[in-house]
Structure 1
Amino acid sequence: MPNLGVVAHAADDLRVEALPEPAPRPDEAVLEIAFGGVCGSDLHYWRHGAAGASVLREPMVLGHEIAGTVVRAAADGSGPTVGARVAVHPLTPLGDGSTPWPAGRPNLAPASSYLGSALHLPHTQGGFATRVALPTRLLHAVPDGLPLEVAALAEPAAVAWHGLERAGDVRGKRVLVIGAGPIGQLVVAVARHHGAAEVIATDLHELPRRIAEQHGAITLPATDAAAIAALHADVVVESSGTVPGLASAIEAARRGGTVVLLGLQRAGDVPAAVATAITRELTIVGSFRFADEFDDVIAALADGSLDVSGIVTHVLPAGRALEAFGIAADASVSSKVLLDFTGAGSDGRDP
């Protein structure tokens, strides 16, 4: 089978093309990728040729939400053996020689590389390909019985897990999720896993609200500002990354509550109701990627305690990547969209 990759060349220039066979370094294993999830950053590279400050300057294989099987073990003897099923942690923490970051929080290392990222030059190539070579330190075992299709959700689920845990213990609390896109759906699932007494989700579209309801959430239209403000939630996770979403998050938080900024806001100044945050003594915390939660997430996916059913709405063959990206970009018709690199493929499915 040819080694097909999903490569972003520039804005509106996404190609599925033949790649050279991987040439692994001694500490790298070769994987056959089974499934890869389309992330918002992938969509930004496709639509705009950039994801925030990370601007395409050369062709780049996209993808960092991936799972697959080892077909060639690392020459140095590290990592998993041939046949091992793995999910991939995309982060390599790196310092810049001057900026400090907290010990034990590798996600905050200032010069880190991430699979499928154009931050550095040469770019860090991603995992949307039939076969890729990856450092064994990125590979985490997938337990028997956990489908690789589900294991491909480990990375975005870890983002949601980390975000919710930035608020502390949510057991017995009312948790509000602003924005029920794929990450918001996973926050709902993690909140249920973590013992929240009540989970509420908002979104502009009916489909994501329906999926959230399948996970036990109460839902509200994102346009119902009065109802959202009346919630007095203990914890609010802003996962829409929009200015109206940020406004709703602050208004919906109870006095003394916590607001987690999980959705990435636009660069530069963003208006916010700071006076409300002050007079309510809100705790406002940021959340970026994840730290050491990856194996906990895989374990919870494997034992079923983290229920992600229905969040994947479409699975398309990798050769139809452009179509898949178009579906993923329309939040009214999709949640998480996966690319299938196995060659079996699927025509997609509705939730």
Structure 2
Amino acid sequence: MSHSRNDSAASTSGAAAPAVPGNRGVVVRAKDDLRLAELPAATPGAGEAVVAIAYGGICGSDLHYWRDGAAGQSVLREPMVLGHEVVGTVLFPGADGSGPPAGTPVAVHPATPAPSGELRWPADRPNLSPGGTYLGSAAHLPHTQGAFAQQVALPTRMLRPLPASLPLRTAALIEPAAVAWHAVARAGDVRGRSVLVVGSGPIGLLAVAVLRRAGARVTAVDLIDRALQLATDLGAERTINARDEQAIAAVQADVSIEASGHPAGLAGAIAGTARGGRVVLVGLLPPGPQPVPIAAAIGKELDLLGSFRFNEEIDEVIAALADGSLVVDPVITHEYDLADTLEAFDVAANPAASSKVLLRFG
């Protein structure tokens, strides 16, 4: 793996623009090749604003592009700026008058829904649009460049103004919290119900926080004691080590949230859910066939529901953070200057040492 501050990165807009000192970004060029690079100027197009990025959260997909050269079925085929969990301040507003004015703190909704041929999807669920793109994603070619840079040109429709009272450091969790919020919404009304959260990484922990706000009784599962302590800090009433399969199976929760992204985690969620219950799959399992005890799910007549990204839940998350009803700060365990990107990624890749790791771009 290499780490350079002076390598050029691919332009995000086709024609190459000159690299501008002071606009550094995090670029993955290939498996094990992560670089801090000087990027082209953030030049806005129609309907775009320039945002000075303050914080970016390192996501599991960012780690997979670096360590594996792919995130699920999205294979890295060209250099790509990473990052989609970002917040910042509008530096130059949209020239067409769209979007918030200069100086406004904003979160970013990183999705762009789009069709693809004749494939169908529900109109009220744009997260399922087959041709959709996401910042920092290699799902399409050319790749959708991400926002791990000091200045980024972004469509104004992606920008969500933030209240001045909400610290940008906390706001850096808005995007992953929206993923967790969407997963909990897929579970239905959880008030007063028992919920098993399998996997207490950042998404699982944020699901614990969202569930507690919704009035659920939460049991959290993980292999790592540190993660289980964080789950307790966020409101889990009980924690179980993932090695204790009997204790997990004995929970018999009304709902389970599978957030580990591992077949064993899904097996535990199926075992730990009561007959007639519901299992929401938000952890991204590896592509291809997986060894899963489907017969048990059939015999218990469980509802198995996928959960993919989010839609307008991001606005509900912002409101809940602003009024203090959603508490997420314990999920942030580390914060690094942009110059220390390599160390930040190393720490983020070690779940025994970290939960959510932030890069500070300002």
Work out which of the residue numbers 193, 211, 227 in structure 2 matches 1:208: 227
Counterpart of 1:98, as a letter, is: E
C-alpha distance after superposition, 1:1-32 (max 9, x if no partner)? 70010000001100001111111102100000
Name the SS of the counterpart of 2:279 in structure 1.
strand
C-alpha distance after superposition, 1:106-161 (max 9, x if no partner)? 10000101000011111111010000000000000111210111111111000000
Structure 1 stretches of at least 4 aligned residues deviating more than 4 Å after TM superposition: none
Work out whether 1:48 is the aligned partner of 2:68.
yes
For residues 208 and 335 of structure 2, the distance between their equivalents in structure 1, rounded to whole angstroms, comes to 22
Name the SS of the counterpart of 2:187 in structure 1.
coil
Structure 1 residue 254, shift from structure 2 partner: 0.4
Aligned twin of 1:66: 86
For residues 44 and 91 of structure 1, the distance between their equivalents in structure 2, rounded to whole angstroms, comes to 19
For residues 268 and 53 of structure 1, the distance between their equivalents in structure 2, rounded to whole angstroms, comes to 9
Give the 5 Å matches for 1:255-294.
Answer: 255-294=275-314
Structure 1 residue 275, shift from structure 2 partner: 1.6
Give the 5 Å matches for 1:21-170.
Answer: 21-170=41-190
Aligned twin of 2:330: 310
C-alpha distance after superposition, 1:7-65 (max 9, x if no partner)? 00001100001111111102100000000000000000110111122111111100000
Identity level (%) = 59
Name the SS of the counterpart of 2:184 in structure 1.
helix
Counterpart of 2:243, as a letter, is: T
Counterpart of 1:299, as a letter, is: A
Aligned twin of 1:299: 319
Counterpart of 1:293, as a letter, is: E
For residues 185 and 200 of structure 1, the distance between their equivalents in structure 2, rounded to whole angstroms, comes to 11
For residues 266 and 54 of structure 1, the distance between their equivalents in structure 2, rounded to whole angstroms, comes to 11
For residues 158 and 181 of structure 1, the distance between their equivalents in structure 2, rounded to whole angstroms, comes to 15
For residues 145 and 343 of structure 2, the distance between their equivalents in structure 1, rounded to whole angstroms, comes to 22
Moved more, 50-59 or 133-142: 50-59
For residues 109 and 281 of structure 1, the distance between their equivalents in structure 2, rounded to whole angstroms, comes to 29
For residues 73 and 266 of structure 1, the distance between their equivalents in structure 2, rounded to whole angstroms, comes to 40
Give the 5 Å matches for 1:305-344.
Answer: 305-342=325-362
For residues 216 and 156 of structure 1, the distance between their equivalents in structure 2, rounded to whole angstroms, comes to 18
Gaps of 5+ in 2: 1-20
Give the 5 Å matches for 1:8-19.
Answer: 8-19=28-39
C-alpha distance after superposition, 1:274-296 (max 9, x if no partner)? 12111211111000001121100
For residues 69 and 284 of structure 1, the distance between their equivalents in structure 2, rounded to whole angstroms, comes to 40
Question: Structure 1-normalised TM-score?
Answer: 0.96
Aligned twin of 1:349: none
For residues 183 and 24 of structure 2, the distance between their equivalents in structure 1, rounded to whole angstroms, comes to 34
Name the SS of the counterpart of 1:31 in structure 2.
strand
Work out whether 1:230 is the aligned partner of 2:256.
no
Gaps of 5+ in 1: 343-351
Name the SS of the counterpart of 1:281 in structure 2.
coil
Counterpart of 2:230, as a letter, is: I
Give the 5 Å matches for 1:235-246.
Answer: 235-246=255-266
Name the SS of the counterpart of 2:330 in structure 1.
coil
Question: Structure 2-normalised TM-score?
Answer: 0.93
Moved more, 20-29 or 64-73: 20-29
Aligned twin of 2:268: 248
Name the SS of the counterpart of 1:313 in structure 2.
strand
Counterpart of 2:347, as a letter, is: I
For residues 51 and 277 of structure 1, the distance between their equivalents in structure 2, rounded to whole angstroms, comes to 28
Name the SS of the counterpart of 2:246 in structure 1.
helix
For residues 22 and 262 of structure 1, the distance between their equivalents in structure 2, rounded to whole angstroms, comes to 33
Name the SS of the counterpart of 2:178 in structure 1.
helix
Structure 1 residue 216, shift from structure 2 partner: 2.0
Aligned twin of 2:198: 178
Name the SS of the counterpart of 1:26 in structure 2.
coil
Aligned residues: 341
